[in-house]
Structure 1
Amino acid sequence: MSEPALQLTRCIAADHPAFAGHFPGRPLLPGALLLAEVMEALRTSPPLSARIGERPTIAHAKFLAPIGPGDELGITVHDEAHGLRFEVRRGGVLAASGRLLPELAVQ
């Protein structure tokens, strides 16, 4: 397997507003916001950000383990021939994975 193009850690704030309504008694970070965390991580790398553009296509995404208040996430991105592959881990547990394809050029 190739070396990661990007590896970083992000912490989900315990007081994130999404936890108030998703779900009472068992707060979980919604999948859309987890994908937003991946996109924010990509923005820290100008070459990767330029490669996929402002609005990449989500080729697929799997959400495998819950993310809760205060969780620390390890985000790893691999640059592949047809896009970017990402993994999000919470501790040693794979919480999400997927593939992003470059934004289509408007003609």
Structure 2
Amino acid sequence: MSNELNSLDIKEIMDLLPHRYPFLLLDRVVDHVPGETLQGYKNVSFNEPQFTGHFPGTPVFPGVLILEALAQATGVLAFTKHGKPAENELYFFASIDKVKFRKPVVPGDRLDLDVTCIGEKRGMGKFECKAKVDGQVVCQAEIMCARREI
């Protein structure tokens, strides 16, 4: 394994994921080992639309969107192993287990996303996922995603 970082910018991420504003929740991949691990992040900004209605007086980034950001990171990781998706292929949530939220995420935070592939068969991948802010785990989960034709 090389010490060289394998980063992906937003254009490369958009090549792999179909998501677009306001639902693209992965800003950059800072490093990855294709098919094994990925580290990326999402910058949380007060200008995002969910803050107008999610605890308006006390803006908190919704936990379900933290899980979605982690799932998008798993999709990018899977595509780094299998190549760019066909136009008729997507990754879908299959299951989310062992979810724990440890601390609220607020505007101004950088949500660091760490995903590790812990197994794969028949188009299904299982991933250990952690979201961190300032090195502290704010959410963790095991996510399974299924690669399917649409």
TM-score range, shorter chain: 0.7 to 0.9
1:72 is aligned to 2:110: yes
1:14 is aligned to 2:46: yes
> What are the residue-to-residue correspondences of 1:16-95 with 2, within 5 Å?
16-45=48-77, 46=79, 47=81, 53-81=91-119, 83-95=126-138
TM-score normalised to structure 1 length: 0.78
Map Cα deviations across residues 29-48 of structure 1 (whole Å, 9 max, x no partner).
11111111112222333038
Q: Which runs of 5+ in 1 are unaligned?
A: none
Q: Distance in 1 between matches of 2:44 and 2:100?
A: 19
Contact 2:71 2:143 (8 Å CA) reproduced? no
1:101 is aligned to 2:138: no
Q: Distance in 2 between matches of 1:90 and 1:40?
A: 18
Q: Which runs of 5+ in 2 are unaligned?
A: 1-32, 86-90, 121-125
Q: From the superposition, tell whether residues 75 and 56 of structure 1 become closer, same or farther in structure 2 (CA, over 3 Å).
A: same
Higher relative contact order (CA 8 A, sep 6+): 1
CA RMSD of aligned residues (A): 2.7
- The structure with the largest alpha-carbon Rg is 2
Q: Normalized per residue, which structure has more strand? A: 2
Contact 2:44 2:109 (8 Å CA) reproduced? yes
Q: Per the alignment, in what secondary structure is the counterpart of residue 71 of structure 2?
A: helix
Q: What is the number of residues matched between the two proteins?
A: 102
The letter of the residue matching 2:37 is A
